[in-house]
């Protein structure tokens, strides 16, 4: 019984190798010229293979900053996924920022200063198209 179990185990493990047909061909079967012929004749499961192409990239942008009150802001961040030239929004996150935790954001007197502070807090996020909602009154008061 042990021998039979061992033989079944060996056959099963040989069938479960983690090597694709393409990798096996390149590793064991011949030249690059033959590989090109094999690919052209669709000998491999090519539509499901990315052949080592890097996956898509994620880009996070600060979409908007909403002034909720004199001591609270909401920062809305959108993360976009780009793959093969197509960009889709992957997910949206919201952060609530209070004056007690990050007073520097509340001392900004215009949009450029607030973008600079956001760039410090969210280092890798893009702020080029950030919208500021509810700040017009605050920014106009500080100018005068």
Task: List strands edge to edge, sheet with 57-69.
Answer: 86-98, 72-83, 57-69, 131-133
**Measured distance CA(99)–CA(63) in Å, rounded:** 20
Q: So what's the pLDDT on residue 79?
A: 93
For 116-128, what is each residue's pLDDT tens digit?
999 888 888 998 8
Q: Does the pLDDT of residue 66 top 80, yes or no?
A: yes
Break the chain into its structural domains and give their ranges. 2-48, 57-143
133 vs 6, residue with greater confidence: 133
Q: So what's the pLDDT on residue 63?
A: 94
Residue 6 tokens read as: 């061992």
Q: So what's the pLDDT on residue 144?
A: 45
In three-state secondary structure terms, 107 is coil
**Measured distance CA(25)–CA(48) in Å, rounded:** 17
Q: Does the pLDDT of residue 30 top 60, yes or no?
A: yes
Q: Is the dihedral of CA 111, 115, 118, 122 positive or negative?
A: positive
């Amino acid at each position: 019984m042990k021998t039979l179990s061992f033989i079944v185990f060996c056959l099963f493990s040989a069938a479960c190798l983690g090597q694709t047909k393409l990798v096996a061909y390149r590793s064991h079967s011949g030249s690059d010229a033959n590989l090109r012929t094999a690919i052209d004749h669709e000998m491999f499961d090519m539509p499901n293979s990315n052949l080592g192409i890097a996956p898509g990239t994620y880009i996070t942008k600060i979409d908007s900053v909403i002034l909720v009150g004199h001591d609270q802001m909401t920062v809305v961040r959108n993360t976009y996924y780009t793959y093969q030239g197509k960009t889709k929004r992957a997910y949206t996150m919201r952060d609530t920022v209070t004056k007690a935790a990050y007073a520097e954001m509340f001392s900004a007197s215009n949009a450029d200063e607030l973008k600079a502070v956001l760039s410090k807090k969210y280092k890798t996020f893009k702020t080029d198209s950030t919208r500021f909602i509810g700040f017009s009154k605050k920014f106009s008061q500080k100018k005068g």
